[in-house]
Chains A and B, each alone.
Chain A
Amino acid sequence: MTVIPAKVRIKEEKEMRKAYCEALMELAAENENIVVLDADLMSSMGMVPFSKAFPERTFNVGVQEANMIGVAAGLSATGKIPYAHTFGPFASRRCFDQVFLSCGYAKANVRITGSDPGVTAAFNGGTHMPFEDIGLMRNIPDITILEPVDTTMLKYLVKEIAKPYGLFYIRLLRKNAIKIYEEGSTFEIGKAVKLVDGDDVTIIATGIMVDEALKASEELKKLKISARVLNMFTIKPVDVEAIVKAAEETGAIVTCENHNIINGLGSAVAEVVVENHPVPMERVGVRDVFGEVGPESYLRERFNLTSSEIVKRVMLVLERKDRKVMECTD
């Protein structure tokens, strides 16, 4: 892993879907077993260039997510390496049994991409707004769940997962991300990236919340609070070592995710913390409610997915940490 944090964190010019398509086209050119499936969202996903370049390796099955997942599993049984895409809610809850059995239980070699995570579904509204996809997917034994944060990480991971055998879920922002990493950065699946070091508290974030976490750490710095920031882009298997280290060295943790706080990143981190080194924790995320329609900026405020919420939770967790320290010294 060689990570170069972005010098300036600004909105990227290139959309995530463009990077996704480019990565798959580069992969397909090198490896004839790469195939792509979609359920009538190929244009939304920006995959038309792929389908033009590799028509025989493109399977747009129409509006049938369950069939798409089964077909992907069947193709993998003949040695193909399928990447199947649809929107997050349809890639997870709509066809959960197919993902669980035809792919997971049957040990198929399949990559599933669920786009438009959480509030980024914006104008498609509550029906299309997955706050539960990580939660569902986490229940499948042996699955790997990834949430690439920008185009550099996305291109790296899309190519990287072509090599190992297994089931992968990519939680993918489709539009423009905030640049977090400079080109040339490399990553290791299952290893969190430490973006900022710190001693007082650790903020563990994924997806669109990584930039918010970095903003929060800058705010906290002004308050003389030293916050460590980890980008936990692999949600399963979660980086146990980094979490335990954070608990031991900083004594307080705040998780941040564009997902329900139930069964998402916060839960995954909490499971590791309570079993290994219990410390006070707070979770920033959607607090067990359904999504709704609106501009993303409104939805971020509506569901408290902001740097100010992170700062607030850090203050709360530090209060609890201080109490704990006082109780111990009493």
Chain B
Amino acid sequence: MWGVYMLNKEKIKELEAFATKIRIETIKALGNLGFGHVGGSFSIADTLAVLYGEVMNIDPSNPRWEDRDWLICSKGHSGPAVYSALALKGYFPVEDLMTINKPGTRYPSHCDRNLTTGVDMTTGSLGQGSSLAVGVALGHKLDKKDNYTYLILGDGEIQEGQVWEAVSYAAHAQLDNLIAFVDYNKKQLDGFLVDINKPFSISGKFESFGWHAQDVDGHDIEAIYDAIQIAKKAKGKPSVIVLDTVKGKGWNYCETAPSNHHITISKEQMEDALLELNKKLEEVMG
């Protein structure tokens, strides 16, 4: 089914490289700090690469451009991955990432629209980005503008009741300019979702709320891209793309660590991650 939208091979390669670079810059910044939300930043890197690298209508030299597409990372703790994507796109120098969480930084753990150039919304208290995204999408509808709003939710995050309030109203308001992603990496802070609060069928839940829903491999660039194109064709209803992902994807140590939501990172571990990611980058670049 995937590949029908003909993302060419070169573009796929470029986006795979972009995703790897997002992971590299993220681990460099968090490794320099010694700790951080690596797991959820790595699981969403491929989707961020597709969005910022190909799909979104943006202008890094004009971050508040009225006609831009919006990205609301409601799982605000994945901020470091978002900042890496923005830096690589040229919103601000990549070196700035080294100030993450340092006193007076413009790059806090959780996304802050008043601090970071290119961040569209302030998030961090889980669930709240969903309503903010609905508001933004409604505002654009009201102005008869065709901006898209992309919303990234965590799989643990959708345990928050507010998400389902927003999901319910988004369908009622027929917000087909809103495309949500659920980073279904199966793990939340305290462990596996199935052990803490089972998600059952995430796409099924969205569907029953009146959304267009798709399940895709969240590390397959082509599949993510195609799913977004399909989502855009679903008129009169918002769309969700449930991303089947691995928490910590791209760094074996993190993927297999029992608890990988927020981890400490030693110098050696950072070197280990960089070795693995740089190897991947070389493979991609051929």
Interchain CA distance A74-B169 in the complex, whole Å: 14
Of B128, B130, B161, most buried by chain A (CB within 10 Å of CB) is: B128
List chain B residues, Cβ under 8 A from A77.
113, 120-121, 132, 135-136, 139
Give the segment of A56-64, A124-132, A182-190, A200-208 that binds chain B. A56-64
Within 8 A of B (CB), among A97-146: 97-98, 101-102, 105-107
What count of chain A residues pass the 8 Å CB interface test? Answer: 29
List chain A residues, Cβ under 8 A from B136.
74-75, 77-78
- Tell me whether B133 is interfacial, beta carbon within 8 Å: yes
Of A57, A67, A101, most buried by chain B (CB within 10 Å of CB) is: A67
List chain B residues, Cβ under 8 A from A158.
none
Interchain CA distance A62-B136 in the complex, whole Å: 18
- Tell me whether B134 is interfacial, beta carbon within 8 Å: yes
CB contact under 8 A between A70 and B142, given known A76-B135, A77-B121: no
- Tell me whether A295 is interfacial, beta carbon within 8 Å: no
List chain B residues, Cβ under 8 A from A107.
114
Q: Quick one: CB contact mask for B191-222 with A, threshold 8 Å, 1 for yes?
A: 00000000000000000000000000000000
Q: Shortest Cβ distance from B166 into chain A, in angstroms? A: 5
Among residues of B, the one whose C-beta sits closest to the C-beta of A71 is: B135
- Tell me whether B109 is interfacial, beta carbon within 8 Å: no
Whether B122 and A67, one on each chain, are in contact in the complex, defined by CB atoms closer than 8 angstroms, is: no
Q: Quick one: CB contact mask for B58-77 with A, threshold 8 Å, 1 for yes?
A: 00000000000000000000
- Tell me whether A314 is interfacial, beta carbon within 8 Å: no
- Tell me whether A254 is interfacial, beta carbon within 8 Å: no
Whether B165 and A73, one on each chain, are in contact in the complex, defined by CB atoms closer than 8 angstroms, is: no
Interchain CA distance A76-B138 in the complex, whole Å: 10
- Tell me whether B264 is interfacial, beta carbon within 8 Å: no
Of B130, B135, B137, B139, most buried by chain A (CB within 10 Å of CB) is: B135
Within 8 A of A (CB), among B145-178: 161-162, 165-166, 168-169, 172-173
Q: Which of A57, A67, A75 contacts B165 (CB 8 A)?
A: A67
Whether A67 and B143, one on each chain, are in contact in the complex, defined by CB atoms closer than 8 angstroms, is: no
Whether A70 and B122, one on each chain, are in contact in the complex, defined by CB atoms closer than 8 angstroms, is: no
Among residues of A, the one whose C-beta sits closest to the C-beta of B131 is: A70
Q: Which of B114, B131, B140, B168 contacts A102 (CB 8 A)?
A: B131
CB contact under 8 A between A101 and B138, given known A64-B165, A70-B162, A70-B166: no
- Tell me whether A35 is interfacial, beta carbon within 8 Å: yes
List chain A residues, Cβ under 8 A from B128.
70, 97-98, 101-102
Q: Shortest Cβ distance from A275 into chain B, in angstroms? A: 29
Whether B166 and A101, one on each chain, are in contact in the complex, defined by CB atoms closer than 8 angstroms, is: no
Q: Which of A56, A69, A102 contacts B122 (CB 8 A)?
A: A102
CB contact under 8 A between A73 and B142, given known A61-B169, A97-B125: no
- Tell me whether B124 is interfacial, beta carbon within 8 Å: yes
Whether A70 and B130, one on each chain, are in contact in the complex, defined by CB atoms closer than 8 angstroms, is: yes
List chain B residues, Cβ under 8 A from A97.
125, 128
List chain A residues, Cβ under 8 A from B140.
78
Among residues of A, the one whose C-beta sits closest to the C-beta of B143 is: A78
- Tell me whether A72 is interfacial, beta carbon within 8 Å: yes
Q: Which of A64, A79, A102 contacts B132 (CB 8 A)?
A: A102
Interchain CA distance A249-B197 in the complex, whole Å: 62
Interchain CA distance A75-B128 in the complex, whole Å: 14
Interchain CA distance A276-B250 in the complex, whole Å: 60
- Tell me whether A80 is interfacial, beta carbon within 8 Å: yes
Whether A59 and B138, one on each chain, are in contact in the complex, defined by CB atoms closer than 8 angstroms, is: yes
Among residues of A, the one whose C-beta sits closest to the C-beta of B120 is: A77
Whether B138 and A64, one on each chain, are in contact in the complex, defined by CB atoms closer than 8 angstroms, is: no
Interchain CA distance A80-B162 in the complex, whole Å: 22
Q: Shortest Cβ distance from B79 into chain A, in angstroms? A: 14
CB contact under 8 A between A35 and B142, given known A62-B169, A67-B134: yes
- Tell me whether A66 is interfacial, beta carbon within 8 Å: yes
Whether B169 and A67, one on each chain, are in contact in the complex, defined by CB atoms closer than 8 angstroms, is: yes
Q: Which of B112, B137, B168 contacts A64 (CB 8 A)?
A: B168
Interchain CA distance A98-B160 in the complex, whole Å: 13
Q: Shortest Cβ distance from B178 into chain A, in angstroms? A: 10
Whether B114 and A80, one on each chain, are in contact in the complex, defined by CB atoms closer than 8 angstroms, is: no
Interchain CA distance A77-B138 in the complex, whole Å: 11
List chain A residues, Cβ under 8 A from B135.
70-78
Q: Shortest Cβ distance from B247 into chain A, in angstroms? A: 25
Whether B122 and A101, one on each chain, are in contact in the complex, defined by CB atoms closer than 8 angstroms, is: yes
Interchain CA distance A105-B108 in the complex, whole Å: 14
Interchain CA distance A74-B143 in the complex, whole Å: 14
Interchain CA distance A66-B137 in the complex, whole Å: 17
Residues of A within 8 A of B (CB): 35, 56-57, 59, 61-62, 64, 66-80, 97-98, 101-102, 105-107
Residues of B within 8 A of A (CB): 112-114, 120-122, 124-125, 127-128, 130-140, 142-143, 161-162, 165-166, 168-169, 172-173
| Known pairs A73-B131, A74-B137, A74-B138 / 14 extra A-B pairs, C-beta < 8 Å | A67-B166, A67-B169, A70-B128, A70-B135, A71-B134, A77-B113, A77-B132, A77-B135, A78-B140, A78-B142, A97-B125, A105-B122, A106-B112, A106-B122
5 A-B residue pairings within 8 Å (CB atoms): A59-B138, A71-B169, A74-B135, A75-B139, A77-B120
Query: Which 8 pairs show the lowest CB-CB distances between chains A and B?
Result: A74-B135, A70-B131, A78-B139, A67-B165, A106-B122, A64-B165, A71-B135, A74-B132
